[in-house]
């Protein structure tokens, strides 16, 4: 039987896990079944934490900050601040003297790397040195020169990092300038940030959108929140899929899915193959209102050009029966017209009433290996099916319910290598998705109870409900 190939079809190696930018929606491509595991979790961890207690001087510059240098006069000024309305001005009155600001931070322990970033504005002349300091009380643990990072006459963020040594605790950071020999100099600072970790994030404090103070405003650490608003009020999540050139359609097991307190799962085995699609998840609150949406994009791989099994036949209700088989030579499609005609008196022309033509149907032959024929027989009679091929065939995905099915052995009985199976694909509309349960191949509560003797064993085996519901596909 001739094999149909498409030399132009791209070879796609998808990433193991795709996550939306805010972290709420995660997708794992299930290549074995050409499906997608989807997990919604609106309670993701904070993405950044600013340890500086009073980072931008909005209420005061005497709480949580202190001046450094006997020849340094600090003033809280409300012109040209980077964040909010206020910054701090340093007037160093003597040539060669140092002056700056020290900020109190939530203590960083030994072994932790403290990233520091401060916005500074220095004049074109007059500053001989500019440094960031890491301190334990009044003891300076480390300094980093940052004058080269500054932009004279404009605000610029200077930064550095330091790992706290054994036996020490870092509880303050500072920005300090040294006046040149030319004499007094004035410079400014604002928006200090210190965080523990391998990288310094964009500045945050509790006044910014999506951020919050962890204690008193302008006197505590602050975090950038990544959880969805009203997290504990979330009850369901609706996930849609947008295919190329089409309107979004609901994912069958997420129209909607349960997502109590922002955690829910779905499985989609109907995405088109080899083309980019976009999934969008929107939470629904207990009062029926909807929350903010989150989206991600991915490509479910189509059968490669070298694969002889180039047709997916998927069961809508039992995805674990789905199979890839080898498509036979195309026999062409036909589309029946829907017309009523009547002769008209006094004219050679006929009156025609017409409607939308029926969807193109075709007779299909596929090759099925002998050791897979029993599964194929269950599949072909499992209800509504979905037929999918690679994009290069220019054949749309089609839902259908087979009527007559014919089988012909491809060899002598008893030594056959398989069967040629013939059936008609007469397209139907996509079955309704509302309220459908999650159906993942080979995984259900019955499978869970078979695999584990006790609920304690389940807890010991999975790190989260999402991991259990998806059999470890999403952690």
Q: Which residue has the tokens 């040294």?
A: 178
Look at residue 361 and tell me if it is in a domain. no
- 103-152 pLDDT, tens per residue? 999 999 999 999 999 999 999 999 999 999 999 999 999 999 999 999 99
Look at residue 394 and tell me if it is in a domain. no
Whole-model pTM: value is 0.64
Cα–Cα nearest to 265, from 433, 434, 439 = 439
The three-state secondary structure class of 42 is: coil
Q: What is the CATH number of the domain that holds 157?
A: 2.60.120.260
Look at residue 306 and tell me if it is in a domain. no
Look at residue 421 and tell me if it is in a domain. no
Which pLDDT score, from 0 to 100, does residue 305 have?
86
pLDDT at residue 180 greater than cutoff 80: yes
- 77-97 pLDDT, tens per residue? 998 899 999 999 999 999 999
Which pLDDT score, from 0 to 100, does residue 226 have?
74
DSSP line for 100-168: EEEEEEEEE-TT-EEEEEEEEE--SSSEEEEEEEEEETTEEEEEEE-GGG--TTS-EEEEEEEEPPTT-
Residues spanned by the domain of 183? 49-224
Angstrom distances, CA of residue 391 to CA of 10, 31, 209, 227, 230? 9, 17, 43, 38, 42
- 319-360 pLDDT, tens per residue? 999 999 999 888 887 888 888 889 999 899 999 988 888 888
Q: What is the mean pLDDT of residues 155-165?
A: 97
Q: Which residue has the tokens 């020169």?
A: 145
φ, ψ at 295 (rounded to 5°):
-140, 155
Residues contacting residue 369 through CB under 8 Å, at least 6 positions apart: 417, 418
pLDDT at residue 101 greater than cutoff 70: yes
How confident is the prediction for the chain on average, in pLDDT? 89
Look at residue 30 and tell me if it is in a domain. no
Count: domains in the chain: 1
DSSP line for 227-249: SPTTGGGEEEEEEEEE-TTS--E
Look at residue 3 and tell me if it is in a domain. no
Which pLDDT score, from 0 to 100, does residue 129 have?
96
Look at residue 148 and tell me if it is in a domain. yes
Look at residue 80 and tell me if it is in a domain. yes
> What is the Cα–Cα distance from 475 to 452, expressed in whole angstroms?
19
Cis peptide preceding 415, ω within 30 of 0 = no
- 417-449 pLDDT, tens per residue? 789 999 999 999 999 999 999 888 887 777 777
**Residue 415: which pLDDT band, with cuts at 50, 70 and 90?**
low
- 281-303 pLDDT, tens per residue? 999 999 999 998 999 999 999 99
């Amino acid at each position: 039987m001739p094999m149909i190939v498409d030399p132009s079809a791209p070879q796609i190696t998808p990433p193991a896990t795709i996550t939306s930018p805010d972290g709420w929606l995660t997708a794992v491509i299930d290549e074995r079944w050409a499906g997608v595991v989807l997990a919604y979790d609106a309670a993701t961890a904070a993405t950044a934490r600013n340890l500086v207690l009073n980072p931008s001087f909005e209420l005061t510059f005497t709480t949580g900050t202190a001046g450094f240098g006997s020849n340094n006069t600090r003033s809280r000024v409300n012109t040209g601040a980077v964040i909010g309305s206020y910054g701090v001005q340093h007037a160093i009155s003597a040539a060669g003297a140092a002056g700056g600001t020290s900020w109190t931070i939530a203590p960083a322990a030994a072994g932790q790397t403290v990233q520091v970033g401060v916005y500074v504005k220095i004049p074109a002349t007059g500053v001989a040195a500019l440094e960031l300091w890491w301190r334990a009380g009044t003891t300076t643990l480390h300094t980093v020169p940052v004058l080269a990072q500054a932009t004279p006459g404009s605000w610029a963020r200077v930064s550095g990092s330091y790992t706290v040594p054994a036996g020490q605790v870092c509880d303050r950071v500072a920005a300090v300038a040294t006046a040149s020999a030319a004499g007094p100099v004035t410079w400014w600072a604002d928006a200090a940030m210190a965080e523990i970790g391998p990288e310094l994030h964009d500045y945050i404090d509790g006044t910014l959108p999506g951020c919050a103070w962890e204690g008193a405003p302008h006197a505590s650490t602050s975090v950038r929140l990544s959880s969805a608003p009203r997290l504990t009020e979330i009850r369901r999540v609706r996930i849609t899929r947008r295919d190329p050139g089409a309107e979004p359609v609901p994912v069958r097991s997420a129209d909607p899915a349960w997502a109590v307190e922002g955690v829910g799962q779905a499985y989609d085995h109907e995405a088109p193959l080899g083309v980019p699609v976009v999934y969008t998840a929107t939470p629904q609150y207990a009062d029926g209102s909807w929350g903010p949406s989150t989206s991600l994009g991915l490509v479910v791989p189509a059968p490669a050009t070298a694969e002889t099994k180039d047709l997916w036949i998927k069961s809508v209700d039992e995805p674990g029966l789905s199979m890839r088989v080898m498509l036979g030579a195309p026999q062409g499609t036909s589309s029946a017209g829907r017309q009523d005609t009547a002769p008209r008196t006094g004219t050679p022309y006929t009156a025609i009433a017409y409607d939308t033509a029926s969807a193109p149907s075709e007779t299909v032959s596929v090759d099925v290996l002998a050791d897979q024929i029993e599964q194929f027989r269950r599949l072909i009679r499992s209800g509504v099916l979905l037929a999918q091929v690679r994009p290069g065939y220019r054949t749309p995905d089609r839902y259908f319910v087979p009527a007559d099915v014919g089988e012909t052995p491809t060899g002598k009985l008893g030594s056959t290598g398989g069967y040629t199976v013939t059936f008609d694909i007469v397209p139907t509309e996509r079955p309704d998705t509302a309220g459908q349960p999650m159906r993942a191949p080979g995984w259900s509560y019955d499978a869970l109870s078979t695999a584990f003797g006790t609920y304690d064993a389940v807890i010991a085996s999975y790190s989260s409900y999402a991991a259990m519901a998806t059999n470890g596909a999403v952690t």
